[in-house]
Amino acid sequence: MQKSLWLKTAGTAAAITLAATTAAQAAPAPADSMSAAAVVTLRYDDSRAAGWESAIAAGVASWNANIDNVELVEAAPGTRAEIVIVATTGWPQAILGPVRPGGQVRVELGSQAVSQGYNKTRIAAHELGHSLGLPDTKPGPCSQLMSGSSAGTGCTNAVPNLTEQARVESLYANRLTALVPADGRTVVDAR
């Protein structure tokens, strides 16, 4: 119906555009759908997380250095991001993923945890872990990123352990996450 309307109102130019679009849709799948490049890119927006930028950068770097199936990249200003990070005065919290490309989850980096003495980079990395689909594993040791505050204020580890890494790799393996909706629960890291 829309097709015929275009053709009727805009004539040849629209017909050419339509033909080009159809050709593009019929083109073979691009190489990035092959297993060799099965990396899911997720963009994050920290434009409303003032004061947390370096902690977020370090948390992101930790994830990117330790997992292969996902890459976190900063969203260009004003563009849509899968992970929206904001600074709050409450406790850190996050919507539990795994967030899929085109989906959206929110991370709140709360200053209350910082005033209690918790490490900002660990907080950022932990909340990003929720975005990637990891639940809390509390209580737990400092070596577990998702043990969060239960590891105490002296814990500064921001690196997911091998089990946590494997879980995220599995959730995003072969881009299957594109078919799985985010969990959607909000996980509050209050203590």
The contact set with Zn ion (CB under 5 A) reads 136, 148, 187, 189
Q: Evaluate the omega torsion of the peptide bond into residue 98 and state whether it is cis, within 30 degrees of 0.
A: yes
Please tell me the distance from the alpha carbon of residue 184 to that of residue 35, in angstroms, as a whole number. 28
146-179 residues labelled b (16+ CB within 10 A) or e (exposed): bbbbbbeeebebbebbeebbebbeebbeebebee
Shortest reach from residue 176's CB to Zn ion, in Å: 24
User: What CA–CA distances, in Å, run from 105 to 12, 43, 176?
Assistant: 43, 11, 18
Angle, helix 120-131 to helix 53-66, in steps of 10 degrees? 60
Residues taking part in catalysis: 127
| 41 Rama sector, left if φ>0, alpha if ψ -120 to 50, beta otherwise | beta
Structure tokens at 148: 């969060």
In 3-state terms the chain splits into helix, strand, coil percentages (rounded to 5) of: 45, 15, 40
Shortest CB 81 distance to Zn ion, Å = 20
Rounded least distance, CB 41 to Zn ion, Å: 24
Asked whether 158 and 62 are in contact (CB, 8 A), the reply is yes
Smallest separation (angstroms) from Zn ion to the CB of 138: 8
